[in-house]
Amino acid sequence: MTKPKRVIALGFFDGVHLGHGALLRRVKETADRLGAVPTAFTFDKSPAAALTGRDIPLLSTLEDRTALMDQLYGIQEMVIAPFTTMQHMDWEEFVGDYLVQKLGVVHVVAGHDFRFGYMGRGNPERLKEKCAQLGVGCDIIPKVELDGVTISSTYIRSLIANGELERAVEFLGHPLQLTAPVRHGKHLGSSLGFPTVNLSLPEGVIVPALGVYAAKVWVLPDGREPPGPRHLPGDGPYLSVTNVGVRPTVADGDRVTVEGFILDFRGDLYGRSVRMEFYKYLRPERKFPSVEALAEEVKRNAEETRAYFEGA
């Protein structure tokens, strides 16, 4: 069987921010010109976390990364490689044997700071030289800045952790996204007059600043795992007042949950998956004297949410 030609972007792409977008757009443009498959190469876990031994939270799950690349940049394939294996591979073997021979790459796109292979000996200069020897195209994309700040996953993580979500969304180029199955909660929404969805944050994913957010919810089609965008949009979007926190008013302990109060929706979502999109941080989480007082605050936050999206 003939191996497909691929144009491949190299990187981890956590969050799929605007800096990553510069690589992915170049991949799509080049693939269309060459009649190749626009592809992204990534690792199964964070290289920075694996190399430093530090706990570095992810901006997005692998599923959401794949979906964002497809939806925003038209990337049709994702190659997911085990980082542990790749970090011991000779850099020349990675380019010649793995990318060219195994994956059929005809053009490579990488960032200005991409390192690869054993001891990180592969760098953009060596990548460009090796590709030239093998007759493979190669583009190295310089750093991308916004407001004089280099766009990076590290910077965006700090914004999200500090509740500066609107600025984080500017640097991401899209809302912060979480796709997850709906789980059973305490049925608090019934008493408040809003249907709710309760989601668990996937292990290793960043916990946004605890508080209430203006968000949108897409209800994904029945019977599908959290999908790539070729299976979207599903039903929606619905506006949502979304709480990230421990819900102190209803004594939920110290377990962080994501609870969305969905506006203008009627229906049973248990057993379905949803995509929650976070746009704006409205207020910190706080304890109210009663469930009734909480209900009044949720109604006020609902009006804030409607006003925010009407003005967006």
**Residue 80: CATH number of its domain:** 3.40.50.620
**214 and 305 together in one domain:** yes
Is residue 233 located within the same domain as residue 267? yes
Establish if 157 belongs to a structural domain.
no
Q: Does 171 reside within a domain? A: no
Same domain for 193 and 99: no
Q: Would 156 be classed as within a structural domain?
A: no
Residue 100, SS3 per DSSP: helix
Tally of domains within the chain: 2
Strands 77-81 and 149-150, bridge-based pairing: unpaired
Residue 190 and residue 289 in one domain = yes
180 and 138 together in one domain: no
**40 shares its domain with 113:** yes
Two tokens at 48? 């920075």
Same domain, yes or no, for 13 and 135? yes
Q: Is residue 101 part of a domain?
A: yes
In a domain, 162, yes or no: no
7/92 Cα distance (integer angstroms): 18
Instruction: Verify that 197 and 113 share a domain, yes or no.
Output: no
Residue 164 inside a domain? The answer is: no
Q: What is the pLDDT along the chain (312 residues), one digit of tens a residue?
A: 577 899 999 999 999 999 999 999 999 999 999 999 999 999 998 888 888 888 899 999 999 999 999 999 999 999 999 988 888 999 999 999 999 999 999 999 999 999 998 888 999 999 999 999 999 999 999 999 999 999 999 999 999 999 999 999 999 999 999 999 988 665 565 566 677 888 988 889 999 999 999 999 998 876 444 444 444 446 879 999 999 987 655 545 567 889 999 998 877 787 788 999 999 999 998 888 887 888 888 899 999 999 999 986
Please report, in angstroms and rounded to a whole number, the separation of the first and last CA atoms in the chain: 50
Task: Write the single-letter amino acid at 145.
Answer: E
pTM for this model (two decimals): 0.89
228 and 271 together in one domain = yes
137 shares a domain with 185: no
Domain at 295, CATH number = 2.40.30.30
State the SS3 of 4-44: CCEEEEECCCCCCCHHHHHHHHHHHHHHHHHCCEEEEEEEC
Same domain, 72 and 136: yes
Parent domain of 138: 6-150
